[in-house]
Amino acid sequence: MDYTNLSKQLKAISDPNRLKIIDLLSCGTMCACDILEHFEFTQPTLSHHMRILQDAKVVDAEKVGKWQHYTLSQSFEESFPLNIANLLANDENCICHCKNANKKEDLIYEKS
């Protein structure tokens, strides 16, 4: 598991305003000015948030005339929930392979 990379995506989405942006984009493509209508902050602040989401490959951008069209990136939509499931799963990918868990003296050991 690549903690550094997953951490970057999590940092990118772990702001309440950026979560709302992602929720808006889950409905489909939107341009910056339409997104901005849903917020109280200024246009440069939105531009800052969109750059963070693009740098983290959470959102794709395409310029159409004067407008920037933003879309949730397919790789994010597909792989991010899988990465979260993988993180929480107790399976062969688990870092500790269950060697170090539940080994305190008040817990029962398996016979060796």
Phi, psi of 11 (to 5 degrees): -60, -40
89 three-class SS: coil
Per-residue binding string, a copy of itself, 41-60, x by CB under 8 A, is --------------------
> Which of a copy of itself, DNA, none is residue 108 near (CB under 5 to 8 Å by kind)?
none
User: Which residue among 41, 62, 98, 102 contacts DNA (CB under 7 A)?
Assistant: 41
What is the closest distance, in whole angstroms, from the C-beta atom of residue 21 to a copy of itself in the complex?
10
Helix H or strand E segment including 39: none
Task: Report if residue 91 touches DNA, rule: CB under 7 A.
Answer: no
- Is 80 strand, coil or helix? helix
d(Cα 25, Cα 59) in Å, to the nearest integer? 9
Q: Which residues bind DNA (CB under 7 A)?
A: 11, 14-15, 17-18, 31-33, 36, 40-52, 61, 63, 65-68
